[in-house]
Amino acid sequence: MQSLYNSLINFSQPVISIAGKFSPKLKEFSEGRKDLFPRLEKLLCPESHYIWIHAASLGEFEMAVPVLKMLKDNYPSEKIIVSFFSPSGFNNKKKHKLVDIFTYLPLDTKYNAQKFIDLINPKMVFFIKYDFWPNFLLGLKDRNIPTYLVSGVFRENQSFFKLYGKWMIKSLQAFHHFFVQNEESADLLKKIGFGNATVAGDTRFDRVAAQITQDNHIEFIENFKANKVLTVFGSSWPEDEELFIDYINKHHEQKFLIAPHEINAEKIQILIHKIKQPVLQFSEMNEAKIKDFNVFILDTIGYLGRAYSYADIAYVGGAAGSTGLHNILEPATFGIPIVIGSNYNKFPEAARLRQLAGLFSVKNSEEFEQVMDKFISNPNFRKKSGMIAGHFINSNTGATRLLESHLKAEKNRD
């Protein structure tokens, strides 16, 4: 099976390149990896030692941020290199104060894996959540490089737990320790012979909990809110808009801030056309008149996390369609109730927070209006739901601390 896998991966390289002529995403995927090794060699410093962190995309990188900080504190002389598999991750995080080098991860051929590992010669390696690439993992295992899975999640439908995927189990031997999010993941690992797992939780809780201690002030949002009830719609898609547009059009006494997931001028104009009251966009902002508007579209990036600190209610997008629910933990850390769509089965944190009554799922615009009316008419209910959300964050932090303790204990043993 491994031979077949290697053949398919090798075959996929030219196919992706050709397909890129017809698909912008595949073109970006392919062109981002052109001359990857020469570019990487120019960035690497021969005298330096590197710690390598791999994140599939932007979401996994956010999970890695508290780990990056911990590593910088504990290994100040080491440099950190972060690899991404997806263009969306790489393009959004080409620079970060905790990272020395960003790079794409090359396709998982045996040659690419060996070349990449030999080039960076990492002192330690951390894979975030998943993205298990057999040739890279086997290369790390052969070199006995300390490798850790952080905030890992395993499910029964993964190939490791199927007959056809038994050959991939060997690649998991690369991990010196698994730090997983839940007991189910630890139990599944145990069934295939791995007892070296700790249920540590999700580092995203550590990431968002730190946000509340930072400076979240945004003057233009403060002026826009003007002491009215503010709902922030974060990372919304057209399917989400179908749920909340009618409510916005009926309520001129509240404030609404919409941060679309895609900053696309054409799609934003379609959204504006649906809203039956004046709309102000960030890109056309007039701060002197910002208080006169009830709807503000944040058609830029970099503000959403802090914008939640001004919200009384948050709607988090992605679950009204099939794109996947976005980060509910960012608003939860500020102690505000959260509303989402109905497709959240693959997001256990959403299911848990819903059970606790800090999050509410709606199927249509009527259900959205019902839950919003309850929040507005009953401030105590709104406050209690928000307190549940905030407590949910505080009671689930500590994943990074467990990882740090383990690394220190291993260092002391050495």
Check residue 414 and give its pLDDT.
66
Check residue 92 and give its pLDDT.
73
> Does residue 320 contact residue 369 with C-beta atoms inside 8 Å?
no
Question: Helix, strand, or coil here: 48?
Answer: coil
Q: Between 348-356 and 379-394, two packed helices, what is the crossing angle to 10 degrees? A: 130
Check residue 20 and give its pLDDT.
65
Check residue 376 and give its pLDDT.
98
What's the CA gap between 270 and 33, in Å, rounded? Answer: 35
* Residues in the chain, pLDDT under 50: none
- What is the full DSSP assignment across 97-121? TT-SEEEEPPP--HHHHHHHHHHH-
Q: What is the pLDDT of residues 332-358, one digit of tens each?
A: 999 999 999 999 998 989 999 999 999
Question: With the C-alpha atoms ordered 122, 124, 128, 134, is the resulting torsion angle positive or negative?
Answer: positive
| Pairing state between β 50-55 and 197-199 | unpaired
Check residue 150 and give its pLDDT.
98
